[in-house]
Amino acid sequence: MTEIKICLGSSCFARGNKQTVRIISDYLKEHNLEDSVIFHGEHCTGNCEKGPIIKVDDEIYENIMPDEVIDFLDKIFK
């Protein structure tokens, strides 16, 4: 099971993770991944200057902007 955590701290949220939550949710539905991925938000990761932050399992990905999320997820799941 893959775990995706998205930082919902104010800096990451303001930089695009507000839109990224919806994009990831939609992607998981469209690709029938909802049963194999745990997706949730978390409080500030302490990496504000490198945000928006997304974690996949224990790997931290920095500066993932909303317009890059689909390509990012395609690389993770394909």
The pLDDT score that the predictor gives to residue 45 is 82
Tell how many helices (H) and how many strands (E) occur in the chain: 3, 4
Query: For 12-31, how does the pLDDT look when each residue is reduced to its tens digit (9 = 90+)?
Result: 989 999 999 999 999 999 99
The CATH number given to whatever domain includes residue 15 is 3.40.30.10
C-alpha angle 50-52-55 in degrees, rounded to nearest 5 = 95
- Domain tally, the chain: 1
User: Residue 11's domain spans which residues?
Assistant: 2-77
Q: What is the pLDDT of residue 78?
A: 86
Q: Could you list the pLDDT tens digit for every one of the 78 residues in the chain?
A: 999 999 999 999 899 999 999 999 999 999 999 999 999 999 988 888 999 999 999 899 999 999 999 999 999 998
Predicted structure pTM score: 0.91
Quick one: which H or E segment has residue 41? strand 37-42
Sequence-separated contacts (24+) of 72-77 with Cβ below 8 Å: 73/24, 73/27, 76/2, 77/31, 77/33
Q: What is the pLDDT of residue 23?
A: 97
